[in-house]
């Protein structure tokens, strides 16, 4: 992939590094445990969950949309959809993330590569479409499929999945300012251009998926999935295509956060997906799970060097449970792992991060993808959809509905179901990424008691 011009000036990059240094929070808290440590924190009960939802053929308006669910038990609308904002067409809605001030939610799409930016601070109960980035591919120099939108100080770091040359898995990180101005493209290291990185194994595939940061160690970590050709293909067809199945990522890369340069490339076979980093001030490690090989991997620092190690097995790998989303508890003691193919959510004891041990397993539905837990671990939410062409069209009798949002209480250490929203019956579509909203973030309270969206 050709080297791309950087629009940002040297001054801009220096300022970004300076901000990253001086704005490292002294208390790295967040409401959802997968959030950026730079982000503003919800204190107490979340009021809303914003669900980035794929448009579904034959369902409602068939458009991607941001759905707002009331989740504060003090609200008379608790457990219900209170509104949604459709964005026009089906773009393969996937992941979303807030800016560091939490005023705006960046909702990305994997097919059209559009990014929809919602104002969530003016009225948290009614997110408003503020801006649409339509030229992501052109601005970035050919990157396709913006995935993770991750908050850095004044910036959004976006991981790509593909490129517009061969629509395979080689891709890059793309950096924007909070107001939606393109800054720079940071190519993933490849065998042809390691960009100064050191290979610790055999691979430098250039693939991308998730991105997370450990500011206290000046580190970013990225994982790897597959390109547009694969993720937009029908799942049955993909699984039967032996050549296509070879085109999945097998690497994790550790980066220098301030310089945006890759440092080390690790072989992590089987498509490592979500990355979740520990919160403890002396816990310099992150976890990822591999979709195709059902392993938990630890990316950790020891003696000022970074290493990668397989530390646990998820279900029966021979049955391809397909690990998808993961969530680390705020005390770094437990890792939740959702497996899409069997609809399970498993809890692993990671008190010893080098030995993940399964301690709980819960059946959530016929398929399950994303989960979000509150910082105190008392509330956990699940959604069902993975990708439009991969989701199951029907579920066996007794397995519930195929497309859902489910809320659970976890205050006593076990899951207790609170409510389910059937996104099919509500004519909303296929629910994917969840993000929390609250009036407390903006020193606001509802001014219309007819809405009665009350915060505690």
Whether the pTM exceeds 0.85: the reply is: yes
CATH number 2.130.10.10 given to 32-442? yes
Asked whether the beta carbons of 433 and 96 are under 8 A apart, the reply is yes
Give the mean model confidence (pLDDT) for residues 251-264. 99
**pLDDT for position 1:** 53
pLDDT tens per residue, range 383-398 = 999 999 999 988 888 7
With a cut of 50, say whether residue 138 has pLDDT above it: yes
Asked whether the beta carbons of 200 and 123 are under 8 A apart, the reply is no
With a cut of 90, say whether residue 145 has pLDDT above it: yes
**pLDDT for position 76:** 96
pLDDT tens per residue, range 403-439 = 999 999 999 989 999 999 999 999 999 999 999 999 9
Q: Sign of dihedral through CA atoms 202, 204, 209, 212?
A: positive
Give residue limits of the domains in the chain: 32-442
Give the mean model confidence (pLDDT) for residues 105-110. 99
pLDDT tens per residue, range 149-194 = 999 999 999 999 999 999 999 999 999 999 999 999 999 999 999 9
pLDDT tens per residue, range 348-402 = 999 999 999 999 999 999 999 999 999 889 999 999 999 999 999 888 887 788 9
CA-wise closest residue to 117 among 103, 104, 102, 101: 104
pLDDT tens per residue, range 272-306 = 999 999 999 999 999 999 999 999 999 999 999 99
**pLDDT for position 29:** 41
**pLDDT for position 301:** 98
Other C-beta atoms closer than 10 Å to the C-beta of 281 total: 10
> Which string of DSSP letters, residue by residue, matches 88-146?
SS---EEEEEE-TTSSEEEEEESSS--EEEEE-SS-TTS-EEEEEE--HHHHHTSEEEE
pLDDT tens per residue, range 231-257 = 999 999 999 999 999 999 999 999 999
Strands (DSSP E) along 261-390, which ranges?
Answer: 261-267, 272-277, 285-290, 295-302, 305-313, 323-328, 334-339, 344-349, 357-363, 371-373, 379-383
Comparing 128 with 34, the larger pLDDT belongs to 128
| H-helix or E-strand spanning residue 158 | strand 155-163
Asked whether the beta carbons of 69 and 445 are under 8 A apart, the reply is no
Distance CA 329, CA 378 (A): 11
Q: Sign of dihedral through CA atoms 220, 224, 229, 235?
A: negative
Distance CA 322, CA 338 (A): 8
**pLDDT for position 16:** 44
**pLDDT for position 22:** 38
């Amino acid at each position: 992939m050709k080297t791309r011009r950087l629009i940002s000036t040297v001054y801009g990059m220096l300022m970004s590094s300076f901000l990253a240094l001086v704005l490292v929070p002294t208390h790295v808290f967040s409401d959802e445990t997968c959030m950026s440590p730079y982000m503003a924190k919800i204190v107490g009960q979340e009021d809303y969950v914003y669900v980035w939802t794929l448009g579904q053929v034959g369902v409602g308006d068939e458009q991607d949309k941001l759905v707002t669910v009331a989740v504060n038990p003090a609200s008379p609308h608790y457990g219900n959809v209170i509104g949604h904002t459709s964005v026009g067409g089906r773009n393969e809605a996937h992941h979303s993330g807030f800016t560091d001030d939490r005023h705006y939610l960046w909702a990305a799409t994997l097919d059209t590569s559009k990014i929809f930016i919602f104002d969530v601070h003016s009225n948290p109960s009614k997110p408003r479409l503020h801006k649409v980035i339509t030229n992501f591919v052109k601005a970035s120099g050919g990157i396709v499929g913006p995935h993770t939108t991750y908050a850095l100080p004044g910036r959004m770091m976006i991981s790509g999945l593909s490129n517009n040359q061969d629509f395979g898995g080689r891709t890059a990180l793309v950096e924007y300012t909070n107001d939606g101005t393109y800054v720079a493209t940071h190519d993933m290291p490849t065998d042809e251009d390691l960009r100064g990185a050191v290979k610790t194994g055999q691979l430098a595939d250039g693939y991308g998926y998730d991105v997370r940061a450990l500011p206290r160690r000046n580190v970013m970590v990225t994982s790897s999935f597959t390109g547009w050709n694969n993720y937009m293909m029908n799942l049955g067809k993909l699984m039967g295509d032996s050549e296509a199945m070879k085109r999945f990522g097998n690497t994790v890369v550790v980066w220098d956060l301030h310089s945006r340069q890759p440092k080390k490339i690790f072989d992590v076979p089987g498509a490592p997906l979500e990355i979740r980093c520990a919160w403890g001030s002396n816990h310099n490690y992150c976890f990822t799970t591999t979709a195709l090989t059902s392993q938990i991997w630890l990316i950790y620092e020891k003696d000022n060097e970074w290493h990668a190690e397989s530390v646990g097995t998820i279900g029966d790998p021979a049955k391809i449970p397909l690990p998808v989303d993961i969530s680390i508890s705020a005390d770094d003691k437990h890792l939740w792992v959702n497996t899409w193919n069997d609809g399970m959510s498993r809890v692993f004891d990671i008190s010893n991060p080098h030995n993940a041990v399964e301690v709980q397993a819960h059946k959530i539905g016929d398929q399950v993808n994303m989960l979000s837990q509150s910082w105190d671990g008392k509330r956990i939410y699940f959604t069902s959809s993975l990708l439009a062409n991969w989701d199951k069209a029907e579920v066996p009798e007794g397995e519930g509905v195929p497309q859902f949002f489910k809320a659970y209480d976890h205050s006593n250490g076990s899951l207790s179901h609170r409510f389910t929203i059937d996104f099919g019956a509500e004519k909303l579509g296929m629910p994917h990424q969840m993000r929390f909203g609250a009036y407390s973030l903006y020193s606001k309270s509802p001014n219309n008691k007819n809405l009665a969206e009350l915060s505690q």
